[in-house]
Amino acid sequence: MTNPQTTGPLPRQDAAHLPGMLAGIRVIEVADETGEYVGLTLAGLGADVVKVEAPSGSPTRHIGPFLNDEPGDERSLHFWNYNRGKRSVMLDLQTPSRIADFRRLLASADILLDASSGAVARALGVEPGAIAGLFPGLITTRITPFGDVGPWKDHKASDLVHLALGGIMMNCGYDPDPARHYDMPPIAPQLWHAYHIAGDQAVVGIIAALTHRLHTSEGQDISVAIHDAVSKNTELDVMSWVMRHAPLYRQTCRHAIENPTHVPSIGHTKDGRWYIATGVSVRDQTNLLPFLAKYGMQADLALPSAEADTKARNVPGSGANDESKAHVLEIVQRFIRAHRYDSMPWREAQDAGLLWAPLRKPQENVADVHWQTRGTFAEVEHPEHGRSFHYPVSRWLSTGTSWQAGRRAPLLGEDTTAVMGALEPRPRLTQPARPRAATPARLSPLNKPFPLQGVRIFDFSWFLASAGGTRFAAALGAEVIKVEWKDNPDTRLAAMSPVGGRAARRAATGPLKGVTDADMGGQFNNKNSGKSGMSLNIRHPKGLEIARRLIAQSDVVAEGFSPGVLQRLGLGYDVLKSLRPDIIYIQQSGMGGVGSYGRFRTIGPVAAAFAGTSEMSGMPEPAMPAGWGYSFLDWIGAYSFATGIMGALFHRDRTGQGQWIDSSQCESGIFLGGVPVLDWSANGRVWSRIGNRSPYKPAAPHGAYRCAGTDRWIAIAVFNDAEWQALARVAQRPGWLSDPRFATLQSRLLHHDALDAAVTEWTQGQDAYACMDALQKAGVAAGVCQNAEDRVEHDPQLAALNWFTEVTGTKIGQWPVTELPMKLSATPPYSGGIIDRGAPGYGEDNARILGEMLGYSAAEVAALAAEGVI
């Protein structure tokens, strides 16, 4: 089903004539694997990204896999994937004459992307945060492992170590045994996801800084600590601990939860593949029984009672679990086992309203007609090899701009002459086509301006994938009006405020009972802080008219419904444009509106299964996929949603043009699987799960190792012989150094199982934090697999980075919520938003919004409430 509106977004391949949102912006990138994803995303958004490389080339040119498994500077598929669309300039930043050239390059730039571990600052002779001040209007973005301050600021890290310290791993892995003892380690999701998580949030900060500069000509410094960004990326664990002192337990391929079950939501087909069949709410069970009955496989299931609440909505993973729900999943697994992977009637199940999907491998989406229709993948030509290769190249479709596939990654120094021969200081536009309304600047409690002040978003978003995106905009100063209606409310029931409030939480020694008041959900507070709240029934003619009048005064309409819902309610894009010609309309659904899947039902775990991320993570077969223990695709969807909003606002401010963006949560996940897709395209290799081993950058040992205590683990990543020798010294195991199996990195890789056993024999008697401290002092990348309690109560680095902000909700009271991790020197985000408040209660701001914006009297507002309009 394609979108019925003629003005709708075009498939990417039909929109090649459209510019990127950041067309004309120049980025100078000095980065390794920790920052290259940011440059890739900016290039996809249309920026000219110039990668500065030393004569020896970027170190990422030596990360596998390689074309035909033959290493070489121009054969790294990792480098190909993360540097597509960029240009390469060869400059030695240790040579004075070349530093002068580098200064000329920066004078021509809008953005410096610096993930050089301080090398750029040393070359320029300044402190890292002072680089922007050398070049008027320059925006510097620095990606660092742990930030500029704090006791861990100089610690060594890796993707694995960040996923451990940031809490991701303790949410992901396999079910405990019946005694809740974990006999398998937590599992790091693959591939390079710590850098994806931090990178996506950095991009939002960059576009916010560009927008601020457009209106003021002021550049600034942005600092993003990967540890800070990753620690905020988990879903339920932080707020469950903050609000109720409740720990969560990881489970196989499903949400970490307070009371774990032993029945996964994935089932095994008879030929050895997997399907997800999640959802055990009353609504799900009502749809499930007739579907199974068609096949005579309903067993002893019965329809829910007539009194059961079919409208209750919990955040996935937050609802109560019991044996009856486990039994439902066991019956579903019987059904899955009765089918082959290719004959499972999952599309029929979707049509019946069930949250079912295959666990695909990343490359299996390339041939899918839906993604072909959208142009999610492109064949990028590599003339040196006489071939084209498949890449994921798009995260959404839109009417005014388009994702840019770009050329293949540059050869080393390929563009040096062309770039350096045409340098001149860049004139920066400071007269936007659409100036903001002249209103007095409002400063945040940080005594700094907001970059999005004057922007209004009419927000129909819900769940995390869309509501989390508008939360970014609110923290950056946009006025966000969150619209709900009681017949279809947002998910407010998760991490509830404890009975007894903040005082009870301070005194807690174990999990507290939560309230049942939907206005007092801690998870809702965390993802909707800084927003105003309005209850509005747009199915009522008067409600629809109110929506139309408010939209006419708004800059953005954001929504997270199934495709076509808002149009059927009378607020399609054609109508929105008639109300305001330059409106930005952004919608987010699981699969996107353009394409063949239509109203395909998804939540985060279903989108992850389809995108390929669930199948990628876990121990090697025959073990089950471990997947992700939270809705990772909800967060990635939220980051894409925020990027789309920010990019569209920046584009409109420069051109006066609004647009419609059709964003797909699943497509955002597919974008992250570029390396395995490229490995399949180039080498015919299908991704195989590897547990916690390092997939392409050789490292051994590399894994999570048991420490003393209950469920305590440490992640250790050793990439060279010097680090291995340091590890052996710390462990006081000189025999390791004389063992021929461990003599070189290559031999350690060949004997990794024996190596893991030897390291575990040492670590299992060690205190995890003392072990981490000793290894870090010796120069070995190591990090405790931290849970929410560790991060909230004990992590000194997060405390130094001020990762929480206290906000006050009218009913819930004062509680900490996570702050955005991008530290903008001139326009820092603030999670209380421009209204300096926690998340709104249901319809809390009806009277204020209707009175101030539409002129309704108190009596008229009361009449609307009596009529069921608000």
The answer to whether residues 55 and 240 touch, using CB atoms and an 8 Å cutoff, is no
Classify residue 509 as left (phi > 0), alpha (psi -120 to 50) or beta. Answer: alpha
How far is the CA of 709 from the CAs of 706, 765, 766, 768, in angstroms? 9, 9, 9, 9
- Distance of alpha carbon 415 from its chain centroid, rounded? 32
668, 392 contact by CB (below 8 A): no
Cα angle: 58, vertex 20, 604; to 5 degrees? 80
Structure tokens at 794: 């004990």
C-alpha 93/C-alpha 774 separation (Å) is 33
Cα(413)–Cα(89) distance, integer angstroms:
5
E strands in 461-529: 479-484
Cβ–Cβ under 8 Å, residues 827 and 208 = yes
Q: Is 170 exposed, middle or buried (0-12, 13-18, 19+ CB in 10 A)?
A: buried
Neighbours of 17 (CB within 10 A): 7
Token pair, residue 323, equals 């044996």
Q: 670-694 burial by CB neighbour count: b if 16+ within 10 A, else e?
A: bbbbbbbbbbbbbeeeebebbbbbb
User: In the block, which residue shows the tokens 């200064």?
Assistant: 103
Cβ-Cβ contacts under 8 Å for 171 (sequence gap 6 or more): 186, 234, 235, 237, 248, 250, 256, 628, 629, 630
By the 8 A CB rule, do 740 and 747 touch?
A: yes
DSSP helix/strand/coil, 735: helix
The question of whether 574 is a catalytic residue gets the answer no
Q: Give the ranges where 9-61 is alpha helix by DSSP (H).
A: 36-44
Q: Which two tokens stand for residue 505?
A: 């939480």
**16 C-beta neighbours (distance < 10 Å), count:** 11
Catalytic residue among 159, 490, 555, 634: 634
Q: What are the catalytic residues?
A: 634
